[in-house]
Amino acid sequence: MSIVGRPEWLTTSVGYEVYIRSFGDGNGNGVGDLPGVLQHLEYLAWLGVDIVWLTPFFPSPMADYGYDVGDYVGVAPVFGTLADLDLIVERAHELGLKIVIDIVPNHSSETHPWFEASRSSIDNPFRDHYIWRDPGPDGGPPNNWLSHFGGPAWTLDRTTGQYYLHLFLPEQPDLNWRNPKVRDEFLEILRVWLDRGVDGFRIDVAHALVKDEQLRDNPMLMSTEGITDARYLFACMDHAHDLTQPETLEIYRSWRMIADEYDAALIGETYVLDAADLAAMVPGDGLHVGFWFVPMHMEWTADAIRPTLSRATEEVSDRVGWVQSSHDESRPVTRYGGGDLGRRRSLGLSVLMMGLPGVPFIYQGEELGLDDGFVPADRLTDPVATRNEGSVGRDGCRTPMPWGPGANLGFSTAPDTWLPVGHGEESSVAAQLADPESHLHKIRALLSIRRKLIDPTERSVEWLATPDELIAFRRGNHVYVLNAGAEPVEWEVGNMMRCLYSSTGPLSDVAVSSVTLAADQALILGPASAGVQ
């Protein structure tokens, strides 16, 4: 174990999210699967990542594409078998990669045996595995809580006349984490997977397991009148009672005791948009890392980027999981202007994230500089879009990975794929491998230099005075700087330094005391005695 009480291997790692349905199709049915992941592990090792995070592969009716779990210790036939997972773990370890799997503890599928038993009668032994309540005084839901995916967070079950809670789809009933039996069930589930050799867990909705014991109404922040998008409706409410309850920390402290036995990592999807609140969710003795999602929502200005990075660094230090994309959000290239402009900006932000304490994560295709893939209206599958008029949904960031030339750009040999291939051949891995100036090679070079430069024991960061358009910090002997402006900016570094990495253009092997950064360019500077990497 390291001095910060977590797996030694985690301290310098870079993670990579594999959205299994869209990564690689190994059996030719148009849906990505575990054999498809196995086929591309060498690519991930070549890229230079350390952790491979696999999205849920458990048996599921796929109402939310695997985040509605019907069996926490199996593999859905559409994704393969337990033997396929074993092969992935074995090969990944041979390649020096760690495998982190997605666990979904906030809710199960309505088809899970626990819920089927729970809904059968009020006095069933599994009733308290979920959150059931009588209707409110008006006969409607017990409180005013909303679902992330649209509508009330309660559904009336006609069998017993009570409502059950679901912060997501009605097909995803929330588990009752105030029930010790639920806690014990999951401790055993963790051991099942750790005994199979996985190296840790990415924990879905990690901030929301425990709910207010009295199920009090949430305060409203603004009127919902005229708002139809489910996500904006959810944001109209102060989630004081359905999210981030302090008792949740007790759960992760018990999980940590098991993780420590296996030298495993606990990585939380902590959708908390205040840095101090994130620090409270990741105090150091439970989750090892909590994702910081504010970069997915910030504007492209120095005034937005600087505090977004500095506040999380100051509050959470090396327990931050740095992300700028995922399977739930529009890709950063699209958010930051699209095309070459969006790619320059996304790469520039990556340079800063790779230099800060914490664990950066790349979402599949981010290393290719992909923008959102085009999905026609008649091909939309995400329930956020199909069940809510006015909601865009998440299909655009989930289109299949483009691997090379030919049908479906190498993703699948099937006549059609579960989502259309949303990109051109020029974006593919094969095309970018052949171009030494491609986005893929720039990301690979960035990961390589990070591995050489980062001292995990150096967690202090000095934010530097710069012209308004720049964001710069010093960590150890190295300086990381980004120009978020639209024009070139000259900056006096203060002492002689060499440029070790540039997000645009070639490097010069000349020590300088000032640098001129083009618009959206990022640099890594090192001591004058350092050579160009």
468 is annotated as an active-site residue: no
- Cα–Cα separations (whole angstroms), residue 110 to 69, 151, 172, 307, 401: 8, 18, 6, 41, 30
Joined tokens for residue 213? 């014991």
261 is annotated as an active-site residue: yes
Q: Which of 261, 389, 426, 455 is flagged as catalytic? A: 261
Residues 29, 324: Cα–Cα separation, whole Å: 31
Which residues are CB-contacts of 529 (< 8 A; sequence separation ≥ 6)? Answer: none
Which phi-psi region, left, alpha or beta, contains residue 48 (left: φ > 0; alpha: ψ -120 to 50)?
A: left
Residues 157, 397: Cα–Cα separation, whole Å: 34
Which residues are CB-contacts of 442 (< 8 A; sequence separation ≥ 6)? Answer: 347, 503
Residues 186, 177: Cα–Cα separation, whole Å: 10
Joined tokens for residue 218? 């949430």
Which residues are CB-contacts of 436 (< 8 A; sequence separation ≥ 6)? Answer: none
Q: Which helix (H) or strand (E) holds 291?
A: strand 289-292
CA angle 405, 406, 407 (to 5 degrees): 135
> Cα 508 to chain center, whole Å?
36
Closest CA to 292 of 303, 307, 300: 307
Joined tokens for residue 25? 């199709």
In three-state secondary structure terms, 20 is helix
Q: Which of 84, 102, 204, 328 is flagged as catalytic? A: 204
Other C-beta atoms closer than 10 Å to the C-beta of 120 total 13
Which residues are CB-contacts of 53 (< 8 A; sequence separation ≥ 6)? Answer: 15, 16, 17, 18, 100, 101, 102, 202, 267, 361
- Catalytic (active-site) positions: 204, 261
